[in-house]
Chains A and B, each alone.
Chain A
C-alpha cells in the first residue's frame, strides 16, 4: 500500500542529477513529489542526520526460486533486499528449472508481485537448460521482460556460443553477463590460488583462470559489437582488461561484489581477516562461509578492485547474494557449495570503504544506483534519481550506526556469512519501494 511520507531534513544524494543537499522529500501516490505539496496528514519522518538516496539496484542476486526454496524464496530474498536497501533485484537464472523460457519468467514476476513491493527483474539463461549448447529463445525472453542473459554459476561454455549470444542479444539491446572462469584451468574452486590455499593444502583458483575468459569475451565483444558485462569481477588483471576495453570504446561493463571489495583470501583461515605472518592454522580454518566463486582474492587484488571502482572501470556494485542452508555449508571445505549471503550486510560492508576513506559516499551511491542502470539501460534511469515524478524507490541510511552481524536475524534464509559476529558501521533505516515501506528499521 502506497503511503504518503514526508522525509524531513535528510541529506539527499541524487546520482543522476549529481546533487548532494540537505532538504525534504515527499512520497505521494508511489512517486517522489515536491515537499511543499505535502498534505497535512502525511507521515513525517525525521531524516536529520540520515542520508536519503535512490533505492539500490542489485544486478546479481540468487533468489533460488523456483527449485531451491530451502535456500531462499522470492519472498525471503526480496525481504533481505529491502533490509539491505535494495529496491530492485536482478535474479539469476540458475534456478531449477532454469530461466530459459518465458513461463519461468512469468512465474517469477507473479511470485515477486505477491511477495511485496521490491522490484524483481530476471536475467534469462544464455543457453537452454544452462547446458552451454543451444541459445535460448532470446527474443521471447526479452518480450517476457528479461533484462539480459547469463549462464551464471557457469561461464558461457564456448567462445563460439559467446560470439552468437553477443550478436543475438546485441540486436535486442541486452547485455550478456558472463561468469568468467576458464574450466580448462580449474572448475568450481572457492579459494584463491595463493598462500592460503598452499598453506591449507587446497587446490586454488588462480586469477589467470578468470582473466583468460575476460580477455576472450572482450575480444568477442569487439568482434560482434555486442554488450559484454563482467559478472563479479575479482582480480587486478581483469580490472586492467576492462579498463583497456573501455578505453577502446567497447561496450564492456563490469560489476564487483561487496565481499571482493572488503574481504580477502585470508578469511578462509576463519580469523576474520586477522592473520600474523607465521600464524598457525586453527580449527576455525577451512571456513566454508568464506568459500565463494570467484574466490576472495589477495589483498593487492582487493586494492586494485577499489581503485577500479573509484575510477569508473567498474560500473556497479552487485551482491552475488548466494544463500545456502546450514547443512550445505557444515561440511569439509571441498564439499561445501560456493556462495555468501550478502544482501543483509552489503551496505554495512561497503560503508567500511567510506569510513576508511577509500571511496566517497556519492560515488558509492552512484555505483549502487546509476551505475547498475548504465548496465541495464537508460529505460531504468528513473530508478536512480530523486527527481519529482519518478517512482519512490528510496533508502534512508545511518552512516555511523554500528550493529553486530547476527545471521539468525537475517531476512534471508541464507545465513552463510563469514562476517558472523562482526560489527559493521553503517545501517539501512528505511527502504521504500514504489511508495510502499518495504523495510522499516527506524526503531531497530
Chain B
C-alpha cells in the first residue's frame, strides 16, 4: 500500500485542529480553505487504483443515521474506509432509539465502547450539539440535523464552486426553493458568507425564514438577501442552486400546488439564460427533475450535480482525517488555527 501522497495531505492540514464539525458558522475563511485544500489532496486518493491509505488505521468511526439517507451515509462510510478507519453503521431501524432508549444513553454507551468519532444524521435540529455537549471524549460530525445545518454538504458545495470559479469573494450565489426547511441552505449561507460571496434567496414566502423575509434581523450575515422573483434573483448569478421541494409541502398548506411552484421557481433554460454565461448549476440531491429543476438543466453543461457527490467523499475524508489524525484534541470546544 502506498502512502506516497500522505505527507502532502499532512502538510496542508497541519494548521487545523478541531474536535467537532457542527456547522460552518464557526469556520473562518482560512479554515475553510484548509479543509478544501485537504479535500483536493483526498481527491487524489479517490483517483487511485487502490483507494485506500492507512491514515486512520485503528480509529473507530460510528456512522449513526437516525433518518433515511443514501448518499450522505455511503459517502461517510466510503470516506472512512478509504482512510482505513473501522466504520460501523448504526441506523434508525433496529437501533436502541426504536426500543425507547434515549439518545443520551445510546451516546454514552457508544462512548464507553471507545468510539473515536460519531457521525450523526438526525431529524432533530441540534442533536449533534446535544451529543457534543454530553460526550467528553468523542468527536462529533454533523451529517445533517433536522432543519438546522449540514456543514459537510456546504463544504462540498464550496469545494465544487472553488474548483470552477476560484476565489468566491464578490460572487453571486442564488439559492432557490424551500430555504426554511433546508439545512443545506442554512450552512451554505454561513460558508458563503465566510468566503465573501453574496447570497440571494428566492422562493415562496412560506419557505423563507421570517426573520430574513422581514429583512430586519442583525443576526444573519449582511451578504444574504431575499428576492422572491426568480427572474430577477437569477440575473448575473455565478452559481444557481436549486433545493429539493418535498412534495408533501403543498398538502401542508405551504404551497398552492406543485404546478404553481414550478411555474414560478423552477430553474429552466430561459431563466438560466439570465445568469452569467457558464453559471454553475448545483443541487444537493436527491432531485425532483421537472419540479425544482428542468431535466435539460439537471443534465446540461453547467450541471455540477455529480461532481458534488465526488467532492462530498473528498470533503468527508478531509474532515475525518483532520478531526481524528490531528494532534491531541484541543480544548472542550477548541478551534485552534
A281 lies within 8 A of B25 (CB):
yes
Using known A-B contacts A198-B211, A282-B333, A327-B102, determine if residue A334 contacts B125 with beta carbons closer than 8 Å.
yes
B104 lies within 8 A of A286 (CB):
no
Separation in Å of the B163 CB from the closest CB of chain A? 27
**Per-residue B-contact encoding for A274-310, CB less than 8 Å = 1, 0 else:** 0001101111111000000000000000000000000
Separation in Å of the A143 CB from the closest CB of chain B? 43
B104 lies within 8 A of A283 (CB):
no
Using known A-B contacts A280-B25, A332-B122, A332-B124, determine if residue A198 contacts B148 with beta carbons closer than 8 Å.
no
The docked-state distance in angstroms from the alpha carbon of A202 to that of B211 is: 13
- Could you say which interface size class chain B belongs to? 35 or more
Using known A-B contacts A201-B147, A201-B186, A285-B129, determine if residue A333 contacts B124 with beta carbons closer than 8 Å.
yes
The docked-state distance in angstroms from the alpha carbon of A114 to that of B271 is: 76
Separation in Å of the B239 CB from the closest CB of chain A? 22
Using known A-B contacts A195-B219, A201-B186, A330-B104, determine if residue A335 contacts B211 with beta carbons closer than 8 Å.
no
The stretch of B37-45, B49-57, B130-138, B307-315 that contacts the partner chain: B130-138
Residues of chain A with a CB closer than 8 A to B209's CB: 198
A334 lies within 8 A of B146 (CB):
yes
List 27 interface pairs A-B (beta carbons < 8 Å), by A numbering. A194-B211, A195-B217, A198-B210, A198-B212, A199-B219, A200-B125, A201-B146, A201-B147, A201-B148, A202-B125, A202-B146, A203-B147, A281-B22, A281-B25, A281-B26, A281-B129, A283-B20, A283-B133, A284-B133, A286-B130, A330-B104, A331-B104, A331-B130, A332-B125, A332-B127, A332-B130, A335-B103
* Interface status of B145 (Cβ within 8 A of chain A): yes
* Interface status of A193 (Cβ within 8 A of chain B): yes
Compute the total of residue contacts between A and B using a CB distance below 8 Å. 86
The docked-state distance in angstroms from the alpha carbon of A335 to that of B221 is: 30
Please give me the residue from chain B that is nearest to A282 by CB atom: B333
* Interface status of B149 (Cβ within 8 A of chain A): yes
Separation in Å of the B285 CB from the closest CB of chain A? 19
B125 lies within 8 A of A333 (CB):
yes
Separation in Å of the A185 CB from the closest CB of chain B? 11
Interface residues of A, count at CB 8 A = 25
The docked-state distance in angstroms from the alpha carbon of A36 to that of B186 is: 71
Which residues of B in the span 104-145 have a Cβ within 8 Å of any Cβ on A? 104, 122, 124-127, 129-130, 132-134, 145
The docked-state distance in angstroms from the alpha carbon of A281 to that of B183 is: 14
The docked-state distance in angstroms from the alpha carbon of A179 to that of B130 is: 30
The docked-state distance in angstroms from the alpha carbon of A195 to that of B209 is: 9
The docked-state distance in angstroms from the alpha carbon of A174 to that of B146 is: 45
Please give me the residue from chain B that is nearest to A194 by CB atom: B211
Cβ contact of A283, chosen from B125, B132, B183, B217, cutoff 8 A: B132
Question: Which 7 pairs of residues, A with B, have the shortest CB-CB distance?
Answer: A201-B148, A286-B126, A198-B209, A201-B125, A332-B124, A280-B26, A201-B147
Using known A-B contacts A195-B211, A198-B209, determine if residue A283 contacts B22 with beta carbons closer than 8 Å.
yes
Residues of chain B with a CB closer than 8 A to A335's CB: 103, 124
Residues of chain B with a CB closer than 8 A to A193's CB: 210
Please give me the residue from chain B that is nearest to A328 by CB atom: B102
Residues of chain A with a CB closer than 8 A to B26's CB: 280-282
* Interface status of B218 (Cβ within 8 A of chain A): yes
**Per-residue B-contact encoding for A166-205, CB less than 8 Å = 1, 0 else:** 0000000000000000000000000001110011111100
The docked-state distance in angstroms from the alpha carbon of A327 to that of B105 is: 10
10 more CB-based (< 8 A) A-B contacts, given A201-B186, A286-B126, A331-B130: A199-B220, A201-B126, A280-B25, A282-B26, A283-B133, A285-B126, A285-B129, A286-B130, A331-B102, A333-B130
* Interface status of B292 (Cβ within 8 A of chain A): no
* Interface status of B23 (Cβ within 8 A of chain A): yes
Residues of chain B with a CB closer than 8 A to A327's CB: 102, 104
Separation in Å of the B120 CB from the closest CB of chain A? 10
The docked-state distance in angstroms from the alpha carbon of A232 to that of B181 is: 30
The docked-state distance in angstroms from the alpha carbon of A331 to that of B130 is: 7
Residues of chain A with a CB closer than 8 A to B218's CB: 277
Using known A-B contacts A198-B210, A200-B125, determine if residue A283 contacts B102 with beta carbons closer than 8 Å.
no
Residues of chain B with a CB closer than 8 A to A283's CB: 20, 22, 129, 132-133, 333
A330 lies within 8 A of B126 (CB):
no
Which residues of A in the span 191-242 have a Cβ within 8 Å of any Cβ on B? 193-195, 198-203
A277 lies within 8 A of B219 (CB):
yes
Separation in Å of the A302 CB from the closest CB of chain B? 17
Please give me the residue from chain A that is nearest to B187 by CB atom: A201
The docked-state distance in angstroms from the alpha carbon of A195 to that of B211 is: 6
Separation in Å of the A213 CB from the closest CB of chain B? 20
Please give me the residue from chain A that is nearest to B102 by CB atom: A331
Please give me the residue from chain A that is nearest to B25 by CB atom: A280
B22 lies within 8 A of A331 (CB):
no
Please give me the residue from chain B that is nearest to A333 by CB atom: B126
Which residues of A in the span 243-288 have a Cβ within 8 Å of any Cβ on B? 277-278, 280-286
Using known A-B contacts A195-B211, A201-B125, A202-B125, determine if residue A330 contacts B134 with beta carbons closer than 8 Å.
yes
**Per-residue A-contact encoding for B213-226, CB less than 8 Å = 1, 0 else:** 00001111100000
Separation in Å of the A209 CB from the closest CB of chain B? 13
**Per-residue A-contact encoding for B188-217, CB less than 8 Å = 1, 0 else:** 000000000000000000000111100001
Cβ contact of A281, chosen from B23, B103, B134, B211, cutoff 8 A: B23
Separation in Å of the A406 CB from the closest CB of chain B? 20
The docked-state distance in angstroms from the alpha carbon of A282 to that of B212 is: 22
Please give me the residue from chain B that is nearest to A277 by CB atom: B218
Residues of chain B with a CB closer than 8 A to A284's CB: 133
Residues of chain B with a CB closer than 8 A to A333's CB: 124-126, 130
